[in-house]
Chain A
Amino acid sequence: MAATQVVRSEWTKIRSVASTVWTLSLAVVVTIALGMLISALSRNEYETLGARERLSFDPTFISFAGMSLGQLAMIVFGVLVVSNEYSTGMIRASLAAVPRRGTFLLSKLTVATALAFVVSMATSFAAFFLGQAMLGAYRASIGDEGVLRAVIGGGLYMTLIALFSMGVAAMLRSPMLSLGILMPFFFLISNILGNVDATEKVGRFLPDQAGSRIMQVVTPPGDDTPYGPWGGLGIMALWVLAAVVGGYVLLRRRDAQ
């Protein structure tokens, strides 16, 4: 059994269900639209900012503000790609056709991650350029130092969020359980942990907090984050690796149902 056969099969699976289109479309639209809105608001507020706040004004990062919401749609995409197999019972047909479970999971994650990567990159670039257009005079240019890295990083960040969700869904199997844990975690808990002084030092090692560092171009004065942009993305990648390995180990060990 060649892995290319299984990859083709997974591509057929992913393109033949409606949830793929609507979750990814939602991720694109929300990320770009919310980014544009917050960019426009920031331009109007710039005049009222104090000198200190102007120093930490990061037009690139502002245009990615929509990702905080857009990533939730990415999470739904990642969760559904994997957990649909279990909730529909398709997993039995899938594993009967592809009994090597490593090949099965790897092919599925490869196809879904590649699709997420293409969509995320396009979204990140679109969110940047449209956001900068809204920022008017305060905009950053793609040629500025660190900006291109931040825009590419934004695409990688969204891709990794999707892959992390796939790994978690492979461990938990149930779509409701996976979404019930991932959505509040990324939308609420991570933010709370990251903004409360007592937990801030732990909070910044969470996947989204560490990973989103790569989208920052301007380091705020007095920032003592112990890792740089790529270090942060590396921390996020370790979380993703742990989730995927966990999903693989459980898939191998468990009965398929």
Chain B
Amino acid sequence: MIELEGLTKRYGEKVAVDGLTFTVRPGIVTGFLGPNGAGKSTTMRMILGLDHPTAGDVRIDGTHYDRLEDPLTCIGALLEAKGVHPGRSAYHHLLCLAQSNGLPRQRVHEVLDTVGLTAVARKKAKGFSLGMGQRLGIAAALLGDPRILMFDEPVNGLDPEGIHWIRTLMKSLAAQGRTVFVSSHLMSEMALTADHLVVIGQGRLLADTSMAEFIERNSRSYVRIRGPQRERLLDVLHQAGITAVESGDGSLEVDGSKAEYIGELAARHRLVLHELSPRQASLEEAFMRLTAQSVEYHAHTGVSAPPQRWGDDWKRG
């Protein structure tokens, strides 16, 4: 269990993490979602005691990180940056971490096997691909067989097979009763793995909810209608008190109504329909709506003027 209480990090004037309070519970995968620069990595570094919070508190199973005996046996983490000496072999990288926490040499061989790096264990890390580096980071996280696991953008750089592997791994770790906390900036990725969702934007908590509830609340359902007699269709819908919105490709979209009802309505008025389909807005759209106010770097589509104060935030990690 990871408990954050009013966790805040300020770099000078800039607030990177702003009073975060939430709890990451065991037995499920908790997704930590936010656009780039939202403060996810900073939060994770504070959980590990690497960055000092400006205010607030974070505890691992009730204890401050720097009070943990052999912390790798309690919480294992994969951080975003590769963080491996390029001249050191995967084996020695893991061995020095294992030794610092009094773990047996045998554990190094076991985790190398788990992540599938046994064949290249003695090779220097500088020859590793992004995906292999990511696997080495995951091996380091698993080293102490910890009850809590934290992954920062774990699917970055992995091929489809690797992505499938890490998803299965996270789910099985949670199924074993462990706490799994995983960050991503991709809603679609979270939808496939996470049971619970913590969403932040510009360092602030935007949502702390179960995945099912988030989908329920945030996904817009609508009916898409297409037909040759568009004007009459609009009239009929209007008379029935239904607001239809014209979408770009000449079809109509109706929020909230049942497709069955619209179909019956059209039949009663002898209107030909070419399409009548119930739709759900993607979770990606829901996520973008939620964080729209807090995205740090907007792509100004269709706007010719350059963004104001561009480059002000370049220092932010």
Residues of A within 8 A of B (CB): 1-2, 5-6, 8-10, 12-13, 16-19, 84, 88-100, 253, 255-257
Q: Are B68 and A99 in contact (CB under 8 A)?
A: yes
B252 at the interface (CB under 8 A from A): no
- 13 residue pairs A–B, Cβ–Cβ below 8 Å: A1-B100, A9-B99, A10-B96, A12-B92, A16-B89, A18-B87, A19-B87, A88-B84, A89-B83, A92-B50, A96-B71, A99-B71, A257-B51
Q: Is the CB of A13 within 8 A of B50?
A: no
Q: Are A12 and B99 in contact (CB under 8 A)?
A: yes
A residues less than 8 Å from B99 (CB atoms): 5, 8-9, 12
Given the complex, which residues of A lie within 8 Å of B49, measured CB to CB?
95-96, 99
Tell whether B85 is near chain A: CB-to-CB under 8 Å: yes
Asked if A97 and B86 sit within 8 Å, CB to CB, the answer is no
CB-CB under 8 A from B72, the residues of chain A are: 96-97
B70 at the interface (CB under 8 A from A): yes
Q: What CA separation (Å) do A17 and B52 show in the bound complex? A: 30
Q: Are A5 and B97 in contact (CB under 8 A)?
A: no
Is B100's CB under 8 angstroms from A98's CB?
Answer: yes
Contact A16 B68 (CB under 8 A): no
With A89-B83, A92-B81 known as contacts, the answer to whether A17 contacts B88 (CB < 8 A) is yes
Chain B positions 79-118 with a Cβ under 8 Å from a chain A Cβ: 79, 81-89, 92, 95-102
Nearest CB on A from B91, distance (A): 9
A97 and B71: CB pair below 8 A? yes
Task: Given A17-B87, A96-B50, A256-B50, verify A1-B97 contact (CB < 8 Å).
Answer: no
A253 to B51 alpha-carbon distance, docked (Å): 9
Are B85 and A88 within 8 A (Cβ)?
A: yes
A100 to B79, CA, bound (A): 19
Contact mask for chain B residues 47-72; partner A; CB cutoff 8 A; 1 contact, 0 none: 01111100000000000011011111
A residues less than 8 Å from B92 (CB atoms): 12-13, 16
CB pair B45–A84 under 8 Å, yes or no, is no
Return B66 CB to nearest CB of chain A, in Å.
4
Contact B50 A257 (CB under 8 A): yes
Identify which of B51, B52, B101 contacts A97 (C-beta below 8 A): B101
Contact indicator B50/A84 (Cβ below 8 Å):
no
Instruction: Categorize the interface residue count of chain B.
Output: 35 or more
Q: Is the CB of B89 within 8 A of A99?
A: no
Closest 10 CB pairs of A and B: A9-B100, A89-B83, A16-B92, A9-B99, A99-B66, A255-B51, A12-B96, A256-B50, A89-B81, A8-B99
B115 to chain A, nearest CB (A): 15
The smallest C-beta distance from A64 to any residue of chain B, in angstroms, reads: 32
When the two chains form the complex, which single residue of A2, A12, A17, A94 contacts B95, counting CB atoms closer than 8 Å? A12
Q: Which residues of chain B come closer than 8 Å to A91, judged between CB atoms?
A: 83
Hey, which chain A residues are within 8 Å of B70, CB to CB?
Answer: 1
Shortest CB-to-CB span from B72 to chain A, Å, is: 5
A131–B214 Cα distance when bound, in Å, is: 79
Contact A13 B96 (CB under 8 A): yes
Asked if A16 contacts B50 (CB within 8 A), the reply is no
- Most B-side CB within 10 Å, residue of A12, A18, A89: A12
Contacts of B101 in A (CB 8 A): 1, 5, 97
Complex CA distance for A161 and B110, rounded to whole angstroms: 41
| Bound-complex Cα distance A100 to B52 (A) | 13
Name the A residues within 8 Å of B50 (CB-CB). 92, 95-96, 255-257
- A117 CA to B52 CA in the complex, in Å? 35
Q: Are B65 and A99 in contact (CB under 8 A)?
A: yes
Q: Is B140 an interface residue (CB 8 A)?
A: yes
Q: A88-B86, A90-B83 are in contact. Are A9 and B66 (CB under 8 A)?
A: no
The distance from the CB of B81 to the nearest CB of chain A, in whole angstroms, is: 5
Interface string of B284-317 (1 = CB under 8 A from A): 0000000000000000000000000000000001
Chain B residues, CB < 8 A from A10 = 96
Say yes or no: is B77 at the interface (Cβ < 8 Å to chain A): yes
Contact between B85 and A6 (Cβ–Cβ < 8 Å)? no
A65 CB → nearest B CB, Å: 33
Residues of chain B within 8 A (CB-CB) of A9 are: 96-100
A20 → B minimal CB distance (Å): 10
Q: Is the CB of B100 within 8 A of A6?
A: yes
CA distance A255 to B167 in the complex (A): 31
CB distance from B97 to the nearest CB of A (A): 5
Q: Please, how many angstroms separate the alpha-carbon atoms of A95 and B47 in the complex? A: 12
A residues in contact with B85, CB < 8 Å: 13, 17, 84, 88, 90
Instruction: Say yes or no: A255 contacts B52, CB within 8 Å.
Output: yes
